[in-house]
A = this chain, B = another copy of it.
Amino acid sequence: MTDPSAVAEYVRARRADVDAALANLLPSPPECPAPVADAMRYSLTAGGKRLRPVLCLASAEAVGGDRAAVLPAACAIELIHTYSLIHDDLPAMDDDSLRRGLPTLHVVAGEGMAILAGDGLLTEAFHVLSKLPGDPVRVLRAVRLIAEAAGPVGMVGGQAIDLACVTPDPQGRTAPPLDAGGLSTMHAKKTGALIRAAATAGAVLGGGAEPQIAAIDRAAAEFGLAFQIVDDILDVEGDSAQLGKTTGKDAAAGKPTYPALYGLDQSRRMASDCIARARSVLSAANLGDSWLLGIGRWIVERRN
């Protein structure tokens, strides 16, 4: 289950499951007013790697859980990820006009509607989670993991660190540039936390034993770090057409990146080391022959 072409096929199949489920997940008019329904759908169906939901499904499967039962939770995590992209792209934040190869939502629907669509996706994610089938104690634990990861100690907090470093507040103050430790904290919160929660919630909902859940949590933390390092490398090396978003923006904005701090070669080694550590953790918990490690490698080897 680590053969690259088998992994690519597995990822493609799970992504198709997720895309099919997402297509029918959101409320529609007349219950949901058309402008916000359209706006949410625009961003949700604009493509994307679906890394977090695929990881959630693979984790549930790794511990012997039922993938179909976990699918709505996987989709809820993608709703949260999508909301975070919409809000991050706003003029008051990263001010991006291109995402996944399409104009960003605020360009198409206006800033106010983009803010609301993000709010709607975030809230709807918890609505979806609250209706999950299965043991309510496990469901509540998954809600807690996901809310903590997405909230002010997690993703929102990471974005706040990022914003404070780049954008002056109304008093004209900017936070000092991040050092290596600060960069790593920011990324652990901004992208790492939700990637970890996706995997861990999948393991919890799949009925995993505590040592399995703990191993998947640690492996996913490595995947999250590797993902960010590779993201920074692609921002230097990639081109906008392939990535579907503006490249070179981080460096231009004076944001610290892994290649800037460590150089490209060392950054690539750091990403590989993450996967090596994830392998030992997963093997020690007898999860070495799940799809998880292959997904980790796919994260490091991706080109967009």
Contact = CB atoms under 8 A, between A and B. Distances in A.
A123 B151 CA distance: 5
25 contacts: A27-B152, A32-B157, A33-B164, A35-B161, A36-B157, A37-B152, A83-B119, A90-B112, A92-B115, A108-B170, A109-B170, A113-B163, A113-B169, A116-B156, A116-B160, A118-B119, A123-B147, A124-B151, A124-B152, A126-B126, A126-B143, A130-B147, A136-B136, A140-B140, A143-B143
Contact of A90 (B33, B115, B151): B115
Interface string A161-201: 10110011110000100000000000001000000000000
A127 interface: yes
List 10 tightest A-B contacts by C-beta distance, closest first.
A92-B111, A123-B151, A36-B160, A120-B152, A127-B147, A130-B144, A136-B136, A130-B143, A92-B112, A120-B156
A8 interface: no
Contacts of A92: 110-112, 115
A144 B123 contact: no
A264 interface: no
A87 interface: yes
A275 interface: no
Interface size class of A (residues with CB under 8 A): 35 or more
A31 to B, nearest CB: 5
Given A33-B189, A120-B157, 18 more contacts: A27-B151, A33-B158, A35-B161, A35-B175, A37-B152, A87-B115, A87-B119, A107-B170, A112-B163, A113-B163, A113-B164, A118-B119, A123-B151, A124-B147, A124-B152, A127-B148, A130-B144, A143-B143
Contacts of A164: 33, 35, 113
